[in-house]
Amino acid sequence: MSGESSPLSDNTPMDSPMSEAVDSPSSLAELQTEEQRKVLDTIARVRKCGLEGTISLPQIVVCGDQSAGKSSVLEALTEIPFPRNDLLCTRYATEIMLRNAAEDSITIRVIPDSNRPSAEQASIKLFEKSITNFDDLPTIMDDAMAIMGIGVLDATDGNAKPPAFARDVLSVEYAGPDRPQLTLVDIPGLIGAETKATTKMDITLVAEITNHYIKQPRTICLAVVSAGTDYANQSILDRVREVDPEGERTLGVITKPDLPDDGSGHQAGYIDLAKNRDIFFKLGWHVVKNRAWKEKDATLTERKMAEDTFFRTTNWRELPKECVGIDALRRRLSILLFEHVKKELPSLREELEDKLVETQGQLEQLGDPRSSGEECKTYLSGLSLEVWQTCRAAIDGHYEGGYFHHDVDPQFSITSPSTLRRTRAVIQLLNSKFAEDIRLKGHKYQIHMDSGNDDASPAESMSFGSKLSASPKKLNKQAALDWVRDVLVRTRGKELIGNFNPLVIGDLFWELSEKWDRLAHTHVDQVATACQNFLKNLLTDKCPEDVERRIWNTKIADELKKRHAAARAELKLIMNDHKNYPINYNHYYTDTITKRRQDRQQKELTKHIEDATTQDYNKQGFQVVSKINVEQVVTAYNKKVDPNMDNFSCEEALDCLFSIYKVEQKTFVANVTVQVVERHIVHGLETIFDPLYVNCLTPTQAEMLASEPAASKRLRERLTDQIRKLDEGSEIFRNVL
C-alpha cells in the first residue's frame, strides 16, 4: 500500500535537502499571478497579526480518510518533503504557512490547544525551531510530538494507552522570495474502526478536528479520496457535503489512480466521478498521482515526469488536462483562491470591524485597570459620577442619551430592563395603578342606592367603583341600610331618635376601607422592587460583575433595605392615623352631602310632577296644553317622607359615609404616593452611591470594593492583545481597500 506523506514518529527522511526544493522549477510561484499575490498579501498580513483563532481566514484544508494520500498532495503543492512511512499517519493538524520574504527560512512552532491548562500552553508556546535544511525536519517533528504528549503514557493511569493524536497544531512557516502568500492545512485522516493503535476516543478526536477545519466558511476543502478503495465508503465525502451542501468551496481530489487496473469497472467508476457525474461539486474534481512507497527516493522533478507519463498512457487520459496532475491543480488553486479571497474580503473586513467593536466593548465593561488602592478609588469616582448622573436623570424623567434609548420595550412592561431605566415613568405608572386600585377595589361594599336588586346599572348606582370590579361585595339599598342599622345599634349613645352617634361614621368608614392597608403595602413593595431592579441593572451595565456584586452587597443593598423599612414605618403611621375618627376641613365633604340630598329630592319631586301631569289633545290629536295637579304633587311628596326615624338616620349616615369616603380616598392616595413612596423610596435614590460616598473611602476600602481579580487581569490582557491584533488588521484593510 502506498503511504502518504505525514508528520511521523518514524525518522525515515526523504533524501531531499532544502536546496532541491529551492532550486527546483518555480512551481510554487505558479500558485499566484502578481494580481493574485497582491490580494493574498492582504490576507497574509492580516494573518500575521495573529487573528487565526479570532476570525475565519481563507485557507486550503487537505482532508480525507486515513491513508487517502492527503499529506502527499500537500507535499506536492508546497514542495516540503515530509518524513514518510507506509504504516503511520498524520497525528495532528499541520499548518503550512508559505510566506513571501527576501531570504529563505523555515520556522517550526507548536500552537497549543486552547483547552489545555494555561501552564501547559505557556510551555508548548516556548517550542520554536529554525532550520536551513529539511534533513533536520524528522527530528524536530519527533520533538514536537513529544511536546504534544503523543505516544507519552499517563503516569497516573497504568492501564491507559498513550495518546495517538493531539489537538495541537504543528506550524511550519516556509518563507522565501519565490514563495506565495498562502496557508494550507493537513489534518489527521478520518478513522473507520478501532485498532490496537487507536481507540474510540482517537476516532472521536480526529472527527472533531476535521469538523473544526472544514466547517469554517472561508476554508477551501480539498476532499481527498483514494482510488484504491470504493469512494462510497470514504466518509469525508459525507462530511464535506454536510458543511458545504452546494459544493461551493469543495474541490474533490482523487489520489492513487494507479491502483485500479486499467480498463476495470472500478477505474471507470472513478473516471466518472472525476467528470463530476456522480458526486457533484461546483468546484469539480481533480486527479493526482502520488509517489508510491517504492518511489520514495524520487525527486520532485522525477515525480512530475512519472505523473505526466501516467496520465498520457492510461485510460485517465480521457480527462481534460486541466483536471489531472499536480501542476494543473496548482493552476486551479490559484484561480480558486483568488476568486474566493476576492469575494470574501469585504465580509472579512466587516467581520473584523464588528469583532473589534465587540472586543472593545468587553474591555470597556472591565473598566480601567484597578491594581492599587488609589487606582481603585479613581475608578470608583468615575463610576459613581456616572451612576449618579444616570440615576438622577432617570428619577427626574430626563431621558436623554443612549442609555435610555437602547432596546426600548414597545409594550413598556415594568419587568423589562429597558422600561426600568425610565424610573420616573415606571413610578408614575405604579402610582396611577395604585390610585385606580383604591378607587375600583379599595371599598369592601359596592352599594346601589336606587335599586331593589343587585343588578342596577352603573348610572343608577352610588358605587365607589366600577361595576366591572369583582372585588367589592354588591349591596342594594335595603342591604346597605341594614348594614348601617346594625352599626347604629352597636354605637348608639344618648342621641335623640332620628339622630345618630357621630362616631358611627368612623366605624362605617373603617369597615368600608379595610382593604386600603393591603393595597398600600403592595404598592410600596412594587415601587421598592422597581427601584432596586433599576439600580441593579444600572450597576450591571456600568461595571464588571465582581465590582457590581461587592458594591451591591457592601453599600446599596443595605441602603435600599433601610429605605424600604422607613417607607413601611411611614405607612404604618398613616394607617394608624387612618384608624382614628375622620377629621375633615374640606368643603367638598359638605358640598357632596348637600348635592346628594338635593339630587335625591329633585329626583323624587320630578317623578311626582310627571305622575300628576295630564295632557289635553284637540280633534286632530295634537297636544294643546299640559296640566299639573299641584295638590296631587304635594300630597304624594309628603307621603314619600319616611316616618321611620331609624331609616332616616341610616340614609343620613350613608350620605355622610359616601362623602367622607371620597374625601379620605383622595387624601390617602396622596399621602401614600408623597409621604411614603416619594419621601422614603424615590427621593435621593441617586445619593446611595455617589462621588461624595466614594470621596470618604480610604484607599484600602476602595481596593476592597473595586480591586481586579486575577481572572479579570488575565482577561484584560487577552482582550487588550486581541484589540491590538484586530486594530492592526483593520488598519491593513483601511490602507488596501
Looking at residue 166, which CATH number applies to its domain?
3.40.50.300
Instruction: Tell me the residue type at 506.
Output: G
Same domain (yes/no): 304, 410: no
Q: Return the bridge partners of 616, or none.
A: 625
With respect to residue 72, please indicate whether it lies within any of the assigned structural domains. Answer: yes
What domain count does the chain have?
2
Asked if 684 contacts 434 with a C-beta cutoff of 8 angstroms, the reply is no
With respect to residue 369, please indicate whether it lies within any of the assigned structural domains. Answer: no
With respect to residue 560, please indicate whether it lies within any of the assigned structural domains. Answer: yes
pLDDT of residue 554: 93
With respect to residue 592, please indicate whether it lies within any of the assigned structural domains. Answer: yes
DSSP string, 56-120: ---EEEEEEBTTSSHHHHHHHHHT----B-SS----SEEEEEEEE-SS-EEEEEEE--TTS-HHH
CB atoms < 10 A from the CB of 277, how many? Answer: 10
Residue 156 predicted with pLDDT over 60: no
Q: How far apart are CA 737 and CA 733, in angstroms?
A: 6
- Kind plus residue range of the DSSP H or E element containing 33: none
Same domain (yes/no): 296, 440: no
Characterize the bridge pairing of strands 105-111 and 182-186.
unpaired
With respect to residue 7, please indicate whether it lies within any of the assigned structural domains. Answer: no
List pLDDT tens digits, range 307-336.
999 999 999 999 999 999 988 998 888 788
Q: How far apart are CA 326 and CA 303, in angstroms?
A: 10
Q: Return the bridge partners of 93, or none.
A: 169
Q: Read off the pLDDT band of 532 (50, 70, 90).
A: very high
pLDDT of residue 70: 86
Residue 359 predicted with pLDDT over 80: yes
Same domain (yes/no): 615, 677: yes
Asked if 172 contacts 94 with a C-beta cutoff of 8 angstroms, the reply is yes
pLDDT of residue 466: 42
Q: How far apart are CA 20 and CA 662, in angstroms?
A: 104
List pLDDT tens digits, range 632-666.
666 666 666 555 566 777 877 888 888 888 888 89
Same domain (yes/no): 61, 182: yes
With respect to residue 368, please indicate whether it lies within any of the assigned structural domains. Answer: no
pLDDT of residue 304: 84
Same domain (yes/no): 307, 448: no
Residue 193 predicted with pLDDT over 70: yes
Same domain (yes/no): 333, 437: no
pLDDT of residue 259: 92
pLDDT of residue 702: 92
Instruction: Tell me the residue type at 460.
Output: E
Which range of residues forms the domain containing residue 230?
18-356+730-734
Higher pLDDT, 543 or 224: 224
Residue 462 predicted with pLDDT over 50: no
List pLDDT tens digits, range 380-429.
999 999 999 999 999 999 998 888 887 777 888 888 888 889 999 999 99
Higher pLDDT, 601 or 82: 82
Same domain (yes/no): 326, 467: no
Higher pLDDT, 573 or 341: 573
With respect to residue 712, please indicate whether it lies within any of the assigned structural domains. Answer: no
With respect to residue 435, please indicate whether it lies within any of the assigned structural domains. Answer: yes
pLDDT of residue 496: 66
pLDDT of residue 427: 95
Same domain (yes/no): 264, 292: yes
Residue 476 predicted with pLDDT over 60: yes
Q: Read off the pLDDT band of 709 (50, 70, 90).
A: confident
Q: Read off the pLDDT band of 588 (50, 70, 90).
A: low
pLDDT of residue 511: 86
Residue 451 predicted with pLDDT over 60: no
pLDDT of residue 457: 37
Higher pLDDT, 397 or 364: 397
Mean pLDDT comparison of 245-249, 624-628, 681-685, highest-scoring range: 681-685
Same domain (yes/no): 135, 209: yes
User: In 513-614, where does DSSP find H-type helix?
Assistant: 516-542, 545-551, 557-578, 587-611
Same domain (yes/no): 338, 420: no
Same domain (yes/no): 336, 395: no
End-to-end CA distance of the chain: 49
Distances (CA, A) of 143 to 4, 6, 12, 146: 21, 15, 15, 5
Q: How far apart are CA 552 and CA 705, in angstroms?
A: 10
Same domain (yes/no): 327, 429: no
Question: For 446-450, what is the mean pLDDT?
Answer: 72
Q: Read off the pLDDT band of 62 (50, 70, 90).
A: very high
pLDDT of residue 20: 40
pLDDT of residue 280: 94
- Per-residue cell: 354: 464588528
List pLDDT tens digits, range 229-248.
999 999 999 999 999 999 99
